[in-house]
Amino acid sequence: MLVRFTAFALLIAPVCPAVIIDRIAVVVGNAIVKDSDIDRNIRVTAFLNGEPVDLGPASRKKAASRLIEQAFIRHEIDIGDYPMVTREEADQQLKRLEKERFGSDAAVQAVLKKDGINRMDVLFEYQWQLTVLQFIDIRFKPAVLISDADIEKYYRNHAAELRRTNPDKTTLDDLRDQIRGILTGEKVNDQFFPWLNEQRKSNKVEFREESLND
């Protein structure tokens, strides 16, 4: 939040709490990425992945890159009128994740406190992550075609690994749906990442903090 000080504000400054200026870190077209966005993204990502919070330069660069990509996606969602995952849907899924990973509300709150965030921070980011996944499915999945030959080839090439990870499923028919899902995900990525790279080439990205530039 950018605060504009007046002469009066300066006079009473000694009795006011310190003000943290939220600087603009990156400008992506008409969108901005602030320092607070980077900080929150790092902390929420660590919480969701069960990892320690790392606010070092390399971690900040990765978070900035994620947020730049999200700006491209958000623009595409807006102009394409793609649907958003609702707050209620995200909350339900997040509660399931929290229960599986932490077990109790007390444990969730302890980790949130340790990571320096609150649940609304997590819910906001989680809702957006689900919206991005939904966008990718709607935007790129319809063009994916998986043939029986593709499934059979994958099964032949990965039979040992599939049997090891799925001991109760040994035949091609048992694994057909799982293999189709794997191949679909790979082909969706084959479309999505080139699209993302094209967005980087065709959109102006201005780093206000040079340390964030690759």
In 30-161, DSSP assigns E strands to 31-34
Per-residue model confidence (pLDDT) at position 89: 96
The string of pLDDT tens digits covering residues 46-58 is 999 989 999 999 9
Higher-pLDDT residue of 87 and 171 is: 87
Q: Residue 21: which pLDDT band, with cuts at 50, 70 and 90? A: low
Q: What is the DSSP string of 128-176?
A: HHHHHHHHHHHHHGGG----HHHHHHHHHHHHHHHHHH-TT--SHHHHH
DSSP state, residue 29: T
Per-residue model confidence (pLDDT) at position 214: 64
Nearest CA to 47 among 127, 1, 102?
Answer: 102
Mean pLDDT of the chain: 87
What type of residue sits at position 124?
Answer: F
3-state helix, strand, coil in the chain (%, to 5): 70, 5, 25
The string of pLDDT tens digits covering residues 84-141 is 999 999 999 999 999 998 889 999 999 999 999 999 999 999 999 999 999 999 999 9
Residues 97, 57: contact at Cβ < 8 Å? no
Q: Please report the domains of the chain, with CATH numbers, ordered by start residue.
A: 7-212 (1.10.4030.10)
φ and ψ at 55, to 5 degrees? -100, 20
Kindly give the interhelix angle for 172-202 and 148-165, rounded to the nearest 10 degrees: 110
Do the strands 205-207 and 31-34 form a parallel or antiparallel pair, or are they unpaired?
unpaired
Cα torsion at 94, 99, 102, 106 (round to 10°)?
90
